Structure formats: structure tokens, C-alpha cells
Amino acid sequence: MSQAQAKFPQTVMSGNYAQFKHEFLELLFGVLVDERPIFGNDLDSLLVYTAISRHYLRDERFGLSPDEDDVDQRGGLTASKVAESTRLPRETVRRKLHQLGSRGLLEKGPRDEWRVAVRDGQPVIRTQYSHEWQREMKRIVKFVRALKDHV
């Protein structure tokens, strides 16, 4: 398969759907099983945290530190934005955000936006649940290795 063909998801998936789907489900299942107890077996809380975490990871990916002066300008996500992205009722999202905030996993910014709680440059969840985080990293590496020849 040429590099040009590999750029199109449908081309990559056409001959490898079962492998891609299997590897994806193995990753997703493992993450859900590991992280569900962290969130009190509440998948809505996990979903809300993940919505906020995606925003944080985007900044981290581009080298933006949560300790930089512009963190308040970059902000986080409002309850409305989280509700929109998760398709959960806004009141449910609001409750989950406050619960996660009281557990120290999220924090509320100056403009009613929520972001991942960070201490010493690391998200609190990574340090409080380092065993689960290490397992997740291994799963992600396994996932990438299983599919690297196809993308």
C-alpha cells in the first residue's frame, strides 16, 4: 500500500477492519475496567473527566505547561461545553464536575471553566493512580505496535 493510500482511513481499514476493531476494543475495554473504580464505578464521571482531560492533553501535546502565566487565558471547559461534547444533561455534568473537584481531580478556573488539577507539573490523577496510569501506557504502546504497519 502506498503512503498516499495509507492516508485515507477507509483504504487502511478495508482489509484490516477486524484487527483494528479488535485492538481498539482491547484498549478501550482495559482502560474502562482500570479507570471505572477510580471514578466510583460511575461511567458518567469518567466521561466528564475524559472530556476535560482531552482539553488538557491537547495543551500538553503542544508543549503548553499548566504552570505558565497564560493558563487562565487558555482556560478549560465550561459545564455547558462538557455537556455538549458528552451528550449528558447539563445538570448531571455540573454535579459530576463538582464531585470530581471535591476529590481534587479537577479544579474550577476564574471564569467558571474546569480543568485537570495539576500539582508539581503532573495531573493529580497520574500521581494518585500511578499503577493504573502505567498499565494504561503499556496498553497504548501495545495498541500502537499492533497497528503501526498499517498506518
What mean pLDDT value characterizes the chain? Answer: 86
Query: Which CATH number characterizes residue 47's domain?
Result: 1.10.10.10
Domain range for 70? 41-119
Provide the domain count of the chain. 2
Strands (E), the chain: 106-108, 114-116, 118-119, 122-123
Q: What cell numbers appear for 6 in the block?
A: 495509507
Element holding 26 (H helix, E strand): helix 17-35
17 & 70 share domain? no
Q: Each residue of 15-53: pLDDT tens digit? A: 788 888 999 999 999 999 999 999 999 999 999 999 999
Q: Each residue of 109-140: pLDDT tens digit? A: 888 899 999 998 889 999 999 999 999 999 99
- What is the Cα–Cα distance from 43 to 132, expressed in whole angstroms? 16
Of residues 140 and 73, which shows the higher confidence score?
Answer: 140
pTM score: 0.81
